[in-house]
Structure 1
Amino acid sequence: MQMKRRTFLAATAATLSAPMVRAAGHGKPRVIVVGGGAGGATAARYIAKDSKGEVDVTLIEPSRQYYTCFFSNLYIGGFREMDSLGHGYAGLATNHGVNVLHDWAVGVDRGAKTVTTAGGHTLPYDKLILSPGIDFVDGAVEGWSVADQDVMPHAYKGGTQAELLKAQIMAMPEGGTFAMVAPPNPYRCPPGPYERISMVAHLLKNTNPTAKIIVADPKGKFSKQGLFEEGWNKHYAGMIDWIGSDFGGDNVSVDPAAMTVTIDGEVTKVDAANVIPAMKAGRIAELAGVTDGNWAPVNAADMSTKADPDVYVLGDASQQGDMPKSGFSANSQAKVCANAVRGALTGSRVFPAKFANTCWSLIDAKDGVKVGATYEATEEKIAKVDGFISATGETPDVREATYVESLGWYDGITADMFS
């Protein structure tokens, strides 16, 4: 009981002095995990749980309450409360002995095998797992920078940005205009922007039915396009104008001060705007020197980086092959990585890498669709084996069952991450 209490105090007091002394005293191998989302929290939990105390696991995550980016669109649409998306880390500490440090990782010395934090810690590791999610490419949308996120939110990281975007939509005048600038490939959650458009349309249909939605998209096509367009025509006829690259969607600038969006030279005054820029790996991966400038190339068999076999990158930040950047993918990759890391440190059995992903999207109340696939590790990449996608014209019962399935998945994956 004393060890559990000490690890819980590490989680709540954000100090690693006692756990690191204990780890050094017992000579345990040390794993540091940076980032407490679907990849990092899962990896920390599985290494700690399955090693049964043989490995000292430290999770570095600045947020004490983690809000999932997945399902945040349902909050915008009015199908979830924000509190239902928030999760804490006490379960990892008390149930599995993970040392949780609420701090920012700000440096990696791969030669010395240490991680430094904003709070002044220098932490040694034998294996380092980075799961920092995404950051944005500077200058990706002309006229927009991260400094403008309070005026034109990106809402592509969990928490307050989604709340801000929803408040701005609710404050639109009657018959006002909402605009989204969609991101170029590759980016987090390929169907995400289009589920968001569906949820914005659902919200406006009920609160501001004469409002208009403009989507400026640098791509010529997008994930589940046939399903979304079918749903938009059915539920939100005349409300949504999607402008792809063939019609100037790849020639966009914004002016946050004037609240305008310019698409192929045509200036439109808007009342709320969601700017989702091009993305890259979270900053710590770049500081660790394991990216190609945007993403971190990894080996498919264990998610170790091409730059360093003792550094692993999971989820959105990785460049791994065919898997989309999603919470499901990160969770799947984390389990493969955890098995490989535990095997390397303790000699336990390492199973062949297998991966899976499913992405659910809600178009309107009880109108859910999905896409997914299974994958295997090859020498070159994580390669798709087979896949599935919802069909157009499905019955309401099938679509409702798909939505209910997504709710069960959310409960399952968050338990897998945090319990």
Structure 2
Amino acid sequence: MPKPNLISRRGLIRAAAATTALLACPAIAKAKPRVVVVGGGAGGATAAKYLRHGDDAVEVTLVEANRVYVTPFTSNLFLGGLKSFETLSFGYEAIAARGVGMVFDSVTAIDRDARQVRTAGGARLAYDRLVLSPGIDFRWDAVPGYSEAAAELMPHAYRGGAQFKLLKSRLDALSDGALIVIIAPPNPYRCPPAPYERASMMAYALKSRGVKNARIVILDAKDHFAMQTLFIDGWERHYTGMIEWQDPTIHGGIKAVDPKAMTVTTDFETHKASLVNVIPPQIAGRLGRDAGLADDSGFCPVYAETMTSRIDPLIQVIGDSAVGGEFPKSGFAANNEAKAAAMILRAELLGERRMPVRFTNHCWSGIAPDDAVKNGARYAPQDGKIVASDPYTSQLDETPQLRAKQAREAAGWYAGMTTDIFG
């Protein structure tokens, strides 16, 4: 048998050797999960903020081309002169203060095999999981004669601050007898009531400036639109004879637009306009399509329970580019989807508790400064798709006091929503 003191000596030698090894090579800490978020709008900015969730357990990087985000939601009130451009504009300082790494650059490619996001400036951002919120793009060739270059003469004003400013400057320059033509897109598109709220705010701006005999003609790709009876009733009360809506059975289809001549030709007539607002059919943002995440619809299919791409399980697609059922495309929807995506990612990456996914969407539309209507519903995953329940909408017989209250609700919602996203 070995001697007791020899065993003790050997134990001491082993302990000393182990201690020396620990001092020389300290334990390597487990790497934090890396999540890259692409797109800093209502969806992406919310996701980046909620992924941090008050701690630094996840390394989050937000990639956005612009240092200031201009909200498309409520931008029609800017056209009507009810909001300033500055009140639509938000920076990312508060999000960065939460420990989110900010990369202000355009994304040139998403390499799904290498799990990298590549930017124009040469950055290669590795990710364990990717949240993609690239917004919308347009089918530029869907309206004959229209193009990206033509948008400088016939603005779409459906994304980007410069386009909002351009449309307002053209609107503010109109005089007596002006004709505005709005070309409204087919479903699905961002914010279903927006083209009709836009017509309302344009009419309000012209009326408040005292412009006489102005007309707005809406040439629609659809045979009906969101809250149609409410808008038409409001137009008759506030802007008698100013706004005319035409469905395809009336105009027969858009045959051509001529940006230089400022004309819109339908199957039945040619409109010589003072201002043309073309809102083209929409598809998922380029990044989603280029990454191979879109299907034949032009949008990116996702699983409703997780907002995970049906094509790549390491990517969640949120906001206007995603299609997962009956949930509309809106800032409110994108904010909801982002929170759900962040919760699910933290549960999967960190083992945190995961709650059932539920969504809501509420939409307020201004017909006049003190006359707002609204609709909305609850949504939940069902058989892999987002399904609506408990829908509601404003009624025709609402009092002026209620409509004014709803206009104040809209203002309060905007303040709360933008604080939730950017605050």
TM tier, smaller: over 0.9
Residue in structure 1 matched with residue 114 of structure 2 by the alignment? 112
- Give the SS at the match of 2:137: strand
Give yes or no for contact 1:219–1:250 (8 Å, CA) kept in 2.
no
Q: TM-score, normalised by structure 2?
A: 0.91
Q: Structure 2 residue aligned with 1:284, among 287, 295, 303? A: 287
Residue 127 of structure 2 aligns with an amino acid whose one-letter code is Y
Distance, in Å, in 1 between the alignment partners of 2:319 and 2:332 is: 9
Distance, in Å, in 1 between the alignment partners of 2:264 and 2:252 is: 11
Residue 193 of structure 1 aligns with an amino acid whose one-letter code is P
Distance, in Å, in 1 between the alignment partners of 2:139 and 2:84 is: 30
What is the root-mean-square deviation of aligned Cα atoms in Å?
1.2
- Give the SS at the match of 2:206: helix
CA shift for structure 1 position 106: 1.5
Residue 285 of structure 1 aligns with an amino acid whose one-letter code is G
Task: Confirm or deny that 1:367 pairs with 2:371.
Answer: yes
Residue in structure 2 matched with residue 181 of structure 1 by the alignment? 183
Q: Structure 2 residue aligned with 1:376, among 357, 377, 380? A: 380
- Give the SS at the match of 1:107: strand
Q: TM-score, normalised by structure 1?
A: 0.92
- Give the SS at the match of 2:309: coil
Residue in structure 2 matched with residue 101 of structure 1 by the alignment? 103
Task: Confirm or deny that 1:263 pairs with 2:277.
Answer: no
CA shift for structure 1 position 287: 1.4
Q: Structure 2 residue aligned with 1:408, among 405, 412, 420? A: 412
1:335-350 alignment to 2 at 5 Å?
335-350=339-354
Distance, in Å, in 2 between the alignment partners of 1:418 and 1:365 is: 26
Structure whose CA Rg is larger: 2
CA shift for structure 1 position 302: 0.9
1:149-298 alignment to 2 at 5 Å?
149-207=151-209, 208-248=211-251, 250-293=253-296, 294-298=298-302
- Structure 2 unaligned spans of 5+: 1-27
Alpha-carbon deviations, 1:287-307, whole Å to 9, x = none?
Answer: 111101410000001100000
Distance, in Å, in 1 between the alignment partners of 2:217 and 2:29 is: 60
Task: Confirm or deny that 1:73 pairs with 2:80.
Answer: no
Distance, in Å, in 2 between the alignment partners of 1:356 and 1:371 is: 11
Stretch of structure 1 that moved more, 329-338 or 256-265: 256-265
Report % sequence identity: 47
Distance, in Å, in 2 between the alignment partners of 1:344 and 1:103 is: 29
Residue in structure 1 matched with residue 309 of structure 2 by the alignment? 305
Give yes or no for contact 2:252–2:268 (8 Å, CA) kept in 1.
no
Residue 194 of structure 1 aligns with an amino acid whose one-letter code is Y
Alpha-carbon deviations, 1:10-59, whole Å to 9, x = none?
Answer: xxxxxxxxxxxxxx986111001111111100000000125x11100000
CA shift for structure 1 position 132: 0.8
Give yes or no for contact 1:72–1:158 (8 Å, CA) kept in 2.
no
Distance, in Å, in 2 between the alignment partners of 1:41 and 1:139 is: 31
Give yes or no for contact 1:216–1:252 (8 Å, CA) kept in 2.
no
- Give the SS at the match of 2:140: coil
Q: Structure 1 residue aligned with 2:396, among 368, 371, 392? A: 392
Q: Structure 2 residue aligned with 1:334, among 317, 338, 356? A: 338
Residue 59 of structure 1 aligns with an amino acid whose one-letter code is L
Give yes or no for contact 2:305–2:384 (8 Å, CA) kept in 1.
no
Stretch of structure 1 that moved more, 107-116 or 201-210: 201-210
- Give the SS at the match of 1:39: helix
Distance, in Å, in 2 between the alignment partners of 1:366 and 1:41 is: 31
Alpha-carbon deviations, 1:219-252, whole Å to 9, x = none?
Answer: 0000010110000000011111111111125334
Residue 317 of structure 1 aligns with an amino acid whose one-letter code is S
